[in-house]
């Protein structure tokens, strides 16, 4: 989007909603409706199997198909997703990382079928794998080959689809994982440095064109409720980005050095309790990234008020869309130059953030850069510690959350009067339909052409050849997402990122409540005859591990011996670990909506293994109706975001363990 001159009324940012669920056909209908309502860009949410490189019929995909986004298994799905949408005119953001190259290949292949010139394609692939190791968990390959895929995608895009943003460096998910503003700035910019170094060192882009690479780099940021600080953070990011690209990479053109960023405002702060308060939270957070013209977002997508309850309905997304439109078209915000130029208060805060971020960037660079700091567990440990400290402040009432730890008294909400209908639900038949359609797709394609394309991809992966060409060829002959990823898994291997739990250090851990529960855990262990052991598990493909990590840290702090193996485990693997480790309780964390499928599988597996005396507790975004069903199916307790007092949760778990051993 072009930038206006200083005295020209600023153009509205690209207005998006993050959307997609169930199937390509249903998501296409949703996109068309949103565009008809005045949305000016698309933001595609992919389901977890697609994000992690699995087909719907894979064992790990069970319960996850179509839940948090749209399943895209092959070019046929991409055709359906963009049916009737002019791709040469669309501005499409795709939240995809480990298989970003693959989804971009599918997009380009369909655009070719539409007759859309490649040099007119506009949009963004997220493609930031570093933050996946730290927060969202949808990584697939080890860091080195992952950086190779990123570099190949960027180099190919700059030369073939010059209007496309081939990467979105995501500080958004760092904040969701607990990052303070200086940490968020530092780790995002450290990732950007690692990416730019990788592209430069690959030799695929001539030095004289490196400014084009920098000019297509974009960021995807988070804006929290401390909106003055958040606005200053964006000004600090713009200043640091200009400095790094000028001094480290020698980019002379100020237009190429300009910070280009999109936003989804904070979802971490949305509450299940009194969720109507989320509306004003979202509006205030939007101001953080729009008030300052010199650091204004060029694309914004807002969450819906009820995302802490489940999947938003189209009406909820429309409400979020209208929030943007009222600000952009009804107010006078876009008529003025920057409102904060010359402010001593703002300048002082920006300088403070810049100084803190620079110091942390230097620490990361001394370790060998962002990838090395991820592999060592340093950054993850810092994030887990920061989030644990934030939770401690909320539990202690030092940080106020309206409706949660202050002003809890409330009237019944008419917005939730419909019960389960207050959120969108995905038809359970969606997964079976996707599997059936996938099998029909495989049966109807040219198997020899598929095998040949996959062989070419495998051979290219063993060299330093850019893999975009081979991926587009795979897309055009009907290769599936799981097949593309499987071939690269064979060549590159897989990876399990550090959890950060063992490195987490939390202040205030000697608080009275923790001491009391710690004594109760000790006494319970003496009663049972061994120290209490808890397994914390993440079944399925849900990689949002922040909650599980915080539970593991608190369980450790109150005296449990904690077994936490990280993300992406099958129910059978969790059962095997629970039996092998002889745990006294299993705690499962599920935020993707797959709880009714994966949790009972763990309960049934424990019973089959003779460990039916091990209580299973579950935490996550779980509607009340589903919580009741889980309890009927053998789950001992269900915790949701409103249960923010982790120490009280630990106390309840001790009671469940004692009851299971008839020692209560």
Question: Of 55, 152, 316, 542, which residue is the catalytic one?
Answer: 542
pLDDT (mean) for 183-190: 96
- Residue from 538, 557, 564, 644 carrying the catalytic annotation: 538
Q: Tell me the pLDDT band of 3, cut-offs 50, 70 and 90.
A: very low
- How far is residue 229's CA from residue 266's CA, in Å, rounded to a whole number? 14
Q: Is the pLDDT of residue 419 over 70?
A: no
Question: pLDDT > 90: what percent of the chain?
Answer: 63
CA-based torsion, 472, 475, 479, 480: positive or negative:
positive
Burial of residue 119 (number of CB atoms within 10 Å: 0-12, 13-18, 19+): exposed
Q: What is the mean pLDDT of residues 356-382?
A: 94
Q: Who contacts 288 (Cβ-Cβ below 8 Å, separation ≥6)?
A: 223, 224, 227, 228, 230, 231, 234, 265
Task: For 240-289, write each residue's pLDDT tens digit.
Answer: 999 999 999 999 999 999 999 988 888 778 888 899 999 999 999 999 99
Is the pLDDT at 5 greater than 60? The verdict is: no
Q: What pLDDT is recorded for position 1?
A: 41
| Overall average pLDDT of the 354-378 stretch | 95
Of 10, 18, 54, 644, which one is the catalytic site residue? Answer: 18
DSSP string spanning 325-345? HIIIIISSGGGSS-TTTT-HH
Checking DSSP bridges between strand 122-125 and strand 164-165, what pairing results, if any?
Answer: parallel
Rounded Cα gap, residues 220 and 222, in angstroms: 7
User: Do the Cβ atoms of 664 and 656 come closer than 8 Å?
Assistant: no
- Of 173, 233, 584, 595, which is the active-site residue? 173
Active site residue 542: yes
Q: What is the pLDDT of residues 309-321, one digit of tens each?
A: 877 888 898 999 9
Q: How does DSSP classify residue 582? A: T
**Per-residue pLDDT averaged across 500-518, rounded?**
65
Q: Is 172 a catalytic residue?
A: yes
**SS3 assignment, position 650:** helix
pTM assigned to the model: 0.87
**Residue 544 catalytic?**
yes
**Is pLDDT above 80 for 512?**
no
Residue 233 has pLDDT above 90, yes or no: yes
pLDDT at 281: 94
**Is it the case that residue 574 has pLDDT exceeding 50?**
yes
- The terminus-to-terminus CA distance of the chain in angstroms comes to 64
For residue 72, pLDDT beyond 50: yes
User: Any idea which residue has 């495998």 for tokens?
Assistant: 458
pLDDT, position 509: 44
Is residue 501 predicted with pLDDT exceeding 70?
A: no
> Considering the chain, what is the average pLDDT of its residues?
90
The pLDDT, as a whole number, for residue 620 is: 86
Q: 172, 249, 261, 564: which one is catalytic?
A: 172
pLDDT surpasses 50 at 628: yes
pLDDT higher than 60, residue 48: yes
CA-closest candidate to residue 138, choices 503, 577, 494, 378? 494
So what's the pLDDT on residue 486?
96
Residue 422 — pLDDT band, cuts 50, 70, 90? low
State phi, psi for 53 to the nearest 5 degrees.
80, 40
- The whole-number pLDDT of residue 435 equals 94
* Mean pLDDT, residues 368-396: 89
Residue 77 annotated in active site: no
Residue 565 has pLDDT above 90, yes or no: no
Region 569-585 average pLDDT: 91
Average pLDDT over residues 111-135: 93
Looking at residue 566, its pLDDT comes to 78
Residue 481 has pLDDT above 80, yes or no: yes
| pLDDT at residue 496 is higher than 90 | no
- List, in sequence order, every beta strand (DSSP E) within 120-244: 122-125, 164-165, 167-170, 217-221
**Considering only 31-40, 383-392, 416-425, which range has the smallest mean pLDDT?**
416-425
Query: Has residue 442 got a pLDDT over 90?
Result: yes
Q: What is the pLDDT of residue 418?
A: 61
Span 513-558, pLDDT tens digits: 888 899 999 999 999 999 999 999 888 888 777 788 888 888 998 9
- Over 80: is that where the pLDDT of 417 sits? no
What is residue 510's predicted lDDT score, i.e. its pLDDT? 46
pLDDT of residue 607 exceeding 90, the answer is yes
- The per-residue pLDDT for range 156-170, each reduced to its tens digit, is 999 999 999 999 999
As a whole number, mean pLDDT of residues 571-593 equals: 90
- What integer pLDDT is reported at residue 664 of this predicted model? 56
Predicted local distance difference test score (pLDDT) of residue 662: 80
Q: What is the model's pLDDT at position 2?
A: 41
Averaged pLDDT, 18-41: 88
Given pLDDT bands bounded at 50, 70 and 90, which one contains residue 480?
Answer: very high
**pLDDT for residue 390 is more than 90:** no
Q: Is the pLDDT of residue 8 over 70?
A: no
619 closest CA partner among 646, 597, 601: 646
Residue 27: what pLDDT? Answer: 92
- Stronger pLDDT, 588 or 137, i.e. the higher one: 588
Arithmetic mean of pLDDT, 415-419: 68
Distance CA 393, CA 397 (A): 6
Cβ neighbours of residue 621 under 8 Å, at least 6 residues apart?
272, 308, 309, 310, 591, 593, 640, 641
Catalytic option among 233, 476, 544, 584:
544
Model confidence at 500, pLDDT cuts 50, 70, 90, reads: low
pLDDT at 634 over 50: yes
In which band, very low, low, confident or very high, does the pLDDT at 99 lie, cut at 50, 70 and 90? very high
Lowest mean per-residue pLDDT among 10-14, 99-103, 330-334, 522-526: 10-14
């Amino acid at each position: 989007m072009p930038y206006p001159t200083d005295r020209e009324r600023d153009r509205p940012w690209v207005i998006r909603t993050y959307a997609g669920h169930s199937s390509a056909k249903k998501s296409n209908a949703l996109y068309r409706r949103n565009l008809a309502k005045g949305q000016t860009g698309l933001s595609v949410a992919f389901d977890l199997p697609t994000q992690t490189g699995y087909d719907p019929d894979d064992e790990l995909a069970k319960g996850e198909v179509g839940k948090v986004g749209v399943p895209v298994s092959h070019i046929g799905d991409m055709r359906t997703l963009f049916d009737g949408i002019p791709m040469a005119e669309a501005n499409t953001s795709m939240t995809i990382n480990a298989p970003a190259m693959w989804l971009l290949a599918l997009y380009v292949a369909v655009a070719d079928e539409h007759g859309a010139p490649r040099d007119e394609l506009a949009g963004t692939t997220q493609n930031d794998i570093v933050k996946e190791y730290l927060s969202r968990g949808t990584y697939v390959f080890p860091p080195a080959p992952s950086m190779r895929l990123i570099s190949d995608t960027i180099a190919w895009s700059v030369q073939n689809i010059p209007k496309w943003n081939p990467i979105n460096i995501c500080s958004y998910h760092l904040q969701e994982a607990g990052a303070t503003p200086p940490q968020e700035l530092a780790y995002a910019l450290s990732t950007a440095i690692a990416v730019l170094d990788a592209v430069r060192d690959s030799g695929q882009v001539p030095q004289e064109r490196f400014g084009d690479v920098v000019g297509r780099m974009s960021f995807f940021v988070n804006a929290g409720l401390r909106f003055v600080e958040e606005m200053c953070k964006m000004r600090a990011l713009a200043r640091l980005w200009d400095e790094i690209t000028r001094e480290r990479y020698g980019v002379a053109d100020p237009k190429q050095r300009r910070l280009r960023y999109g936003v989804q405002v904070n979802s971490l702060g949305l509450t299940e309790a009194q969720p109507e308060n989320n509306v004003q939270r979202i509006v205030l957070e939007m101001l953080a990234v729009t008030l300052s013209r010199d650091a204004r977002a060029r694309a914004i997508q807002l969450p819906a008020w009820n995302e802490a309850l489940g999947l938003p309905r189209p009406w909820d997304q429309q409400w979020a869309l209208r929030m943007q439109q009222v600000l952009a078209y009804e107010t006078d915000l876009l008529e003025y130059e920057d409102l904060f130029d010359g402010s001593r208060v703002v300048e002082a805060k920006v300088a403070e953030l810049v100084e803190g971020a620079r110091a942390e960037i230097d620490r990361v660079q001394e370790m060998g850069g962002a990838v090395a700091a991820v592999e060592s567990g340093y950054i993850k440990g810092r994030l887990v510690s920061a989030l644990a400290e934030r939770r401690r402040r909320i539990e202690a009432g030092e940080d106020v959350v309206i409706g949660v730890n202050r002003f809890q008294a409330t009237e019944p909400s008419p917005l939730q009067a419909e019960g389960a209908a207050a959120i969108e639900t995905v038809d359970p038949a969606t997964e079976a339909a996707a599997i059936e359609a996938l099998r029909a797709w495989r049966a109807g394609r040219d198997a020899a052409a598929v095998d040949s394309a996959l062989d070419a991809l495998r051979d290219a992966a063993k060299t330093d050849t850019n893999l975009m060409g081979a991926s587009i060829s795979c897309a055009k002959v009907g290769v599936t997402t799981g097949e593309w990823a499987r071939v690269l898994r064979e060549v590159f291997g897989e990876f399990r990122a550090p959890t950060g739990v063992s490195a987490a250090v939390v202040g205030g851990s000697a608080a009275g409540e923790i001491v009391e529960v710690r004594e109760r855990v000790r006494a319970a262990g003496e009663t049972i005859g061994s120290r209490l052991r808890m397994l914390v598990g993440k079944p399925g493909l849900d990689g949002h591990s922040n909650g599980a990590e915080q539970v593991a840290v608190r369980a450790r702090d109150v005296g449990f011996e904690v077994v936490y193996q990280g993300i992406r485990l099958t129910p059978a693997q969790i059962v095997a670990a629970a039996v092998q480790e002889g745990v006294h309780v299993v705690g499962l964390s599920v935020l993707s909506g797959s709880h009714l499928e994966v949790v009972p599988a763990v309960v049934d597996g424990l019973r089959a293994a003779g460990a039916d005396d091990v209580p299973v507790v579950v935490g996550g975004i779980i509607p009340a109706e589903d919580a009741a069903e889980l309890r009927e199916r053998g789950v001992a307790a269900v915790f949701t975001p409103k249960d923010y007092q982790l120490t009280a949760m630990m106390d309840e778990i001790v009671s469940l363990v004692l009851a299971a051993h008839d020692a209560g």
